[in-house]
Amino acid sequence: MEDVAARAGVSRALVSLVMRGSPKVSDQRREAVLAAAEELGYRPHAAARSLAQRRSNTVGVVVNDLHNTFFADVADGVHEHASAHGFRLLLNAVWRRDEDEEEAIESLLEHRADAIVLLGPRVDEAVLVEAAASVPIAVVGRHLDLEDIDVVINDDVCGAELAVEHLVGLGHRDIVHVDGGRGAGARFRREGFERRMVGHGLEPRVLAADYDEASGVNAVAQLIEHDALPTAIFCANDLSAVGALDRLEGHGLTLPDDISLVGYDNTSIAGLRHVSLTTIHQPRREMGARAMQMVLERIQGSRSEAARDVIEPELIERSTSGPVPTKRVPS
């Protein structure tokens, strides 16, 4: 910095001002400083700056599963909103194991991130609470009700109800829900399904499964084996729906003529023409942006009570759902 100051013929303090983008510097000197910095290959030292400044202008993001494009989209939203407000992201992807997640959080705390946004975390609530003691925390995609932790979720109950409503509107009465087990939000999707089915005087058949492709395949295989295929299936997420789709087609059924299928999440897979799955959409980018906004408010101190945003999902109709067949296909 001293060298830059010398070369630009100004004081060290002035260089500091320029590097911080202060407005109280004449354009002329500013350019001189920038030129000198360029020539000398000078680059501000982020660590030194955040040490002196006592803030890092960085928010940490912990992505539970980088392979899930759902979270990638949410991260997009966080990033956009963050950079619009001068914050840098410190992404910390995590692979499966819970300990990794704890470590990622610890790492972000050591880096003194000004806030942390968690995407679909599976870690113990206690860990989150402890972290929240030292930094603002927002969580996306997990139903949490903790003091000091902001939350952005979609209304899973409502989403499931949308699916049921859609299918019932098409004349379906025999609908099976392939659930998401212990997955995030799965409990609520199941709940919404059951509630709305009962509301329509229908029997809510639920098959225990998980959030992956194999679960969908197995669930349908089971239905076929017991000769218990419904006229419509509502899967707890898109991945299991794709599995179900495959098994159904493998059984010689045509969608939506013989049977209807609805997924959840509207991931990019659902949108592939080859799949074209009717599904429930969550505004992912927006959810990420909201979470960022929440921690921003905390950083600026404009809010101190926990915030909780429940976002309305939306049904996307594609080619796997249609009117109930007039007669049942032999299974």
Both structure tokens of 44: 């501000």
Instruction: Determine if 91 is a binding residue for a second copy (CB under 8 A).
Output: yes
Instruction: Determine if 11 is a binding residue for DNA (CB under 7 A).
Output: yes
Q: Least CB distance from residue 92 to DNA, whole Å?
A: 20
Q: Which of 67, 85, 97, 303 binds a second copy (CB under 8 A)?
A: 67
Binding-residue total with a second copy (CB under 8 A): 47
Going by C-alpha positions, the residue among 206, 200, 191, 151 that lies closest to residue 172 is: 200
DSSP 8-state secondary structure symbol assigned to residue 10: S
Q: Least CB distance from residue 298 to DNA, whole Å?
A: 19
Instruction: Determine if 98 is a binding residue for a second copy (CB under 8 A).
Output: no
Instruction: Determine if 109 is a binding residue for DNA (CB under 7 A).
Output: no
Going by C-alpha positions, the residue among 202, 201, 180 that lies closest to residue 190 is: 180
Instruction: Determine if 12 is a binding residue for DNA (CB under 7 A).
Output: yes
Instruction: Determine if 57 is a binding residue for a second copy (CB under 8 A).
Output: no
Instruction: Determine if 272 is a binding residue for a second copy (CB under 8 A).
Output: yes
- Which of the ranges 86-94, 154-162, 187-195, 304-312 carries the binding residues for a second copy, by CB under 8 A? 86-94
Cβ(94)–Cβ(121) under 8 Å?
A: no
Q: Residue 8 or 151: which CB sits closer to DNA?
A: 8
Going by C-alpha positions, the residue among 227, 235, 183, 245 that lies closest to residue 206 is: 235
What whole-number distance in Å separates Cα of residue 269 and Cα of residue 31?
A: 49
Going by C-alpha positions, the residue among 22, 135, 120 that lies closest to residue 73 is: 120
What whole-number distance in Å separates Cα of residue 186 and Cα of residue 193?
A: 11
Give one DSSP letter per residue of 109-157, joined into a string. Answer: HHTT-SEEEEES--S-HHHHHHHHTTS-EEEESS----TTEEEEEE-HH
Q: Least CB distance from residue 24 to DNA, whole Å?
A: 6
Q: Which of 79, 166, 196, 281 binds a second copy (CB under 8 A)?
A: 79
Instruction: Determine if 88 is a binding residue for a second copy (CB under 8 A).
Output: yes
The binding track of 255-274 with respect to DNA, each residue x by CB under 7 A or -, is --------------------
Decide the pairing of beta strands 279-281 and 314-316: antiparallel
Instruction: Determine if 135 is a binding residue for DNA (CB under 7 A).
Output: no
User: Which of the choices DNA, a second copy, none does residue 11 contact, using the CB cut-off of 5 to 8 A by kind?
Assistant: DNA
Both structure tokens of 151: 């939350």
User: Which of the choices a second copy, DNA, none does residue 191 contact, using the CB cut-off of 5 to 8 A by kind?
Assistant: none
Q: Residue 11 or 319: which CB sits closer to DNA?
A: 11
What whole-number distance in Å separates Cα of residue 207 and Cα of residue 202?
A: 16
Helices in the chain by DSSP H: which ranges? 2-8, 12-19, 27-40, 46-53, 69-84, 98-110, 125-132, 156-169, 186-199, 213-225, 238-250, 268-271, 284-299
User: Which of the choices a second copy, DNA, none does residue 13 contact, using the CB cut-off of 5 to 8 A by kind?
Assistant: DNA
Q: Least CB distance from residue 6 to DNA, whole Å?
A: 10
User: Which of the choices a second copy, DNA, none does residue 213 contact, using the CB cut-off of 5 to 8 A by kind?
Assistant: a second copy
Contacts of 84 (CB under 8 A, 6+ apart): none
Residues 111 to 170: which contact a second copy by CB under 8 A? 111-112, 133-134
Q: Which of 44, 169, 250, 323 binds DNA (CB under 7 A)?
A: 44
Instruction: Determine if 25 is a binding residue for DNA (CB under 7 A).
Output: yes
Binding footprint of DNA on the chain (CB under 7 A): 1, 10-14, 16, 19-20, 24-26, 28-29, 42-45, 48-49, 51-54
